[in-house]
Each structure stands twice: as structure tokens, then as C-alpha cells.
Amino acid sequence: MASKIQMPAPVCLIENKDRKLVVHQEALQLLSGIRQPVVVVAIVGLYRTGKSYLMNKLAGKNSGFPLGSTVQANTKGIWMWCVPYPGRPDQTLVLLDTEGLGDVEKGDTQNDSWIFALAVLLSSTLVYNSMGTIDQHAMDQLHYVTELTERIKSKSSPQENSEELEDSAEYVRFFPTFIWALRDFTLQLELNGRPCTEDEYLENALKLKKGNSREVQLFNLPRECIRLFFPTRKCFIFERPTNRKNLHRLEDMEERELDPDFVDQALQFCRHVYKTSKPKTIPGGHIVTGRLLANLVETYVDMIRSGGVPCMENAVLALAQIENSAAVLEATGRYVELMDQKLELPTETLQDLLGIHAQCEDEALQVFMARAFKDDKQEFQAELMRALDQRKEAYCRKNELESSKHCKVVLMRLSKDLEDRINMAFYSRPGGYQDYFDDLKSVAVRYHQEPRKGVMAEAELEQFFKDKEAVGRAILQSDEALTQKEKEAEEAKARAEAAEREREIQRQKQAELEQKLEDQRRSHEANMEYLKEKMEKDRDKLLDEQNKMMEAKLREQKKLLETGFQKHADQLNEQIGQLRKQSENVKKPSWLSNILDAASLGLSLVLPGFVGKAVGSTVGVVRKLFKRL
């Protein structure tokens, strides 16, 4: 569903107040209103390095995020600007401008580390902005990346004896792509006397040193972290935009007043970000919408404020609980909305109602499956099945009530003459019983000719006949034209007809029960079909995620082997082997069939009255599904 983005200026998303992080509810509400996938670009770096200028350019504006014109840091906390994504009408671009790191007035490196960690957790593209060149000083300033394993956990229960850097495979699942933006770059791009690209310059700066000394370890640590955590990386260099005396009025300057090279470099940077940035995802490949991002923000900040460490696994589980509950409500609401639109009561038959129910249930299932994720035990899908079945039964009862009301009105109209004659004692005469019997039959014949009486037509007619039994017996007994034997025969005939009508009603009830059981079987199979389709898509997302991770690690392994770091390459090879093994297991038909088999049995137990028949057919349903795998 498209969302109209109406944000003329950035708003504060996370305020850094008295060294405590506070989420702004206004910003969360804006995010929650975005139903589209979001591409989140965050920028981090030392204060007074021109981060806000690049973010304004990405927003297509000259101003918005405050640039500041003094030596003091301007942005406090994390500010957000949601804008339509250029060229992608079905996505929203969320820009996050973070508080400058290393502000001497703040003097709180721990606070800076949390800002950096949040930028990593929330973004799909992370821009690190720095001044000058990538030298050891620049690497030392990027010590925040070496602290990420202390600030972010991928699993709630990490594997025993696992080293931090060996666990990088899990971080790569949800870490953003990395762009290093070098501002006021004045050197010639050369390596060993030959021209090089910005990316080659970055990769050369990330080369590791051989040796085991403490100095070598300190040198390698930030480089190892960047290489392992951010296997997809890019570098951009920028000239100084204008001379120093004009920097304070950068927001007001026209492009023609800026350095042409800087203008072109900023344009290339924006084009790259627009072209390559992907929607934010969480492990498993589930795409994040604005609503999900708002929940993630709250979850992470709550974890930090409580003194904990943000854990992606726990965050995803908490997010799934919120989203899946909302998915049940949304799908149920959609079902009721459609039923109220399509259903005209009373329906002629129960099957007519069940046919409309099936259509509405199908659309409700689509709504649920589009929003729900990580419902591993199908608890929420089962909850939806129960909710829809309960509402279907409510519509059935309402249908019966409307049918009864309508039939009573029809019978009252058709039997008016009959009632008048009874009240006037018209039938209290010799031969009156036959006239009464003929008039009663005439009411029944005309009643059967009436359209749209609904499912209670026979039951209400039978009740009408029962109400007339006492009157009929009285007229029969008083009819002097009939012998006692003829009267007994007429009574026997009336009882037989009443018994036949009762048997017909019971046959109708049995047929309706079988129709409902058949509808529940159809519902069960429809749920399994949608679940199978969703799980196949989730499996494809997981395999795609695994393949991207393997490709990134293979690239990194090749670079390490080329530079003689066999030990590091072997560590990556072990991770690559584990990823291959995981992918092979996921590809096996048994991986999906075992899950669906258990899910089929579990979902079959949801519907009342369905258990006996469902359990016997569950295996057949699953086998039928897997014949099509």
C-alpha cells in the first residue's frame, strides 16, 4: 500500500538528552504511517565533518538537516527525514543524520558508541564521513566499529567457544552496506606510482599487517572488523566545496558557486546511493516497512535504556509478536469488511453463504500472509483460523435469524385468509375438515413458490404446521361428516406427513453439517497452500541471503589469500563451509515437508468438529501438496 510522505523538514527520532536516549513519539507515528518498504540511509562520523550536507543532497534539498557554522556539534541524537525514493514509487527513503562523534563538550565515548551502534542496526546503507585521508589516525577514530560486538548481539544464546570475529557471519545477515565518504581530500589517487580508483584506495587502506605483536593487532583490529562486518563497501572522495570563508553559508550558495568537482562528486555519490541501496531487511530476508522500523527503534532504545545490549534475535521475535498479532486483526477486519459488502441476507442456501465466505477468507489469508512473519509454530495462523471460523458461524446464525424472520412474515401474509376463517369458525361444520386441510395445503404450495426464503424455510414451515396441529385436531373431531375410522385415518395421515417433514429437516441439517465440514476441509487445505507458498518464498529469501553472504566471504577470502593471510582465510573458509551446509539442508524437500506436516496437523486441530475427519486426511493433504514440489 502506497504511503503519502509529507515531511517538509527532518524531525528528531532519538534525542540524546543528558546522556540518555529518548525516542520521540511524533517521529514514531510518522514512521508507523508508512506501509511501504523503507530504504534507510544513515550517516555517522566525527562532528563538524559536513555529514548533514550530504544527507540534504540525498533528500534533494539544499537545506533541512542543520549544517551548523561553528565549531560546536549541531545535530543531537538521531534526526530523521522520510522522502519519496527517487525512481522507486513503491519505496520510501528514510535518511538518518546522527550526532557527531567525538564532541569534546559531551565527553562521553560510550554514548557515541550507542549512536554508532543504532545507526548500524537501523540502516540498510551506512555512510561513514571523515576528513582528509584514510590513515592510521582515521582508523583510530573509527574505533566504534571494533566495539560493535560489545554493543550488538546477533543471538540471545551465542555458541560456546565462539570468538567475536568468527561470529561475523551472523552480523553480516543484518549489517548495512558501507560507504566511506572522504571530505576535503587533497591527495592524488595513486598507488605505487599509478592512478587508482577510490575503491582501490580504500581496499589498500584496509590491508592487514603480518605479525603477532600488540602493535600489529591494534593496527589490524579496525581493518578486520570493517572487512568482516561490511563485506560490501564503497569509497567516495570529495573536494572542498568552497573556500573556507564561505563554508558558513553553504546552505545558501547556488551550485554554480561551489567547486565544480565537488558538485560532480556529490552527484555521483547520490546516484550510487539511489541505485545500490536496498530496502532494510531483518534476518531471514523479511523486508522492513516504516511501521516495522518504528517498532525496531523502540525495541532497541528500550534495550539500551534498560542497561542491556540490543539483540537482533530477540528484537526480531518481539517484532514478530507485534506484527503477527496486528496481522490477525487486519486480516479479520478485512474478512468482516468483505462479508458485509458481499453478503445479502438471507441467502437461499447455506452453500451460497459458504461460497462467499470462501472468497472473503481467501483474501483475508492473503492479507495475513503478506504481513505475518516468523510464525514458526503457526500460532497466529491458527488464531486467525479460529477467528474466521467464529465469524463465519456468527454469519450463519445471523443468516438463520434473518431467514426465520422473513419466513414468518411470508407465512403470516399467506395464511391470513386461513386465520380469518378459523377465527370465524368457518370450518366448524360437516365437511369443514377437508376444506381446512385444502386451505392449509394451499398455504404450503404458495409458500414454496415464494423466492429467497433462505435456510430456515422448511423449519419455519414445519413450525407453522405444528402451531396448527391443535386447531386441526379440533376441527377434525368436530366434523360430523366423517366416521370415527376416517378421523383416525386422517390423524394417522397428518402424523405421517409431520414425520416426513421432520425427516426432511434432519436430512437438511445433516447436509448442512457435511457442507460445513467440507468447508473446513477446504479452509484447511487453503491455509496449507498459502503456508506452503509463503514458506517456499521464505526459503528462497533465506537461500538468497546465504548466497550473498557466501559470495561476500569468498571475495574477502580471495583478498586474504592474495595478501598471504592464510589463517584468516581458513577461518572464513570454515564459515563458508557452515553456510553451504545450512543451504544444502534448507534445499532438501524434507526440510519443508517436515515443517508442513507438523503445521498441517496443528492447524487441523483448530476447527471445532473437524478433528476426527481432519486427522485422517492430514497426511493425504500434505502428500498432495508435496507432489507439486
pTM: predicted TM-score of the whole model, two decimal places? 0.81
Contact 15, 77 (CB under 8 A): yes
CB atoms within 10 A of CB 295: 22
Q: Is the dihedral of CA 145, 237, 184, 216 positive or negative?
A: positive
- pLDDT band of 608, cuts 50, 70, 90: low
Q: How many residues does the chain have?
A: 629
CB atoms within 10 A of CB 403: 22
Asked if the model's pLDDT at residue 409 lies above 70, the reply is yes
At 103-121, the pLDDT tens digits run 655 545 678 888 899 999 9
The correct answer on CATH 3.40.50.11740 for the domain covering 323-482 is no
Mean pLDDT of 295-322: 89
pLDDT confidence of residue 296: 93
Residues 6+ apart with CB under 8 A from 598: none
CB atoms within 10 A of CB 140: 11
Contacts 24+ apart (CB under 8 A), 56-61: 56/251, 57/266, 57/269, 57/270, 58/93, 58/95, 58/270, 58/273, 58/274, 59/83, 59/93, 59/95, 60/86
Asked if the model's pLDDT at residue 614 lies above 60, the reply is no
The 3-class secondary structure across 171-192, one letter per residue, is HHCCCCEEEEEEECCCCCCEEC
Asked if the model's pLDDT at residue 129 lies above 50, the reply is yes
Question: Percent helix, strand and coil across the chain, each rounded to 5?
Answer: 60, 10, 25
Contact 26, 297 (CB under 8 A): no
CATH for the stretch 11-152+168-310: 3.40.50.300
Mean pLDDT (the chain) is: 85
Asked if the model's pLDDT at residue 133 lies above 90, the reply is no
Domain residue ranges of the chain, discontinuous segments joined by +: 11-152+168-310, 323-482
The answer to whether domain 11-152+168-310 and domain 323-482 are alike in fold is no
At 375-390, the pLDDT tens digits run 888 999 999 999 999 9
At 412-452, the pLDDT tens digits run 999 999 999 999 999 999 999 999 999 999 999 999 999 99
pLDDT confidence of residue 622: 38
Asked if the model's pLDDT at residue 497 lies above 70, the reply is yes
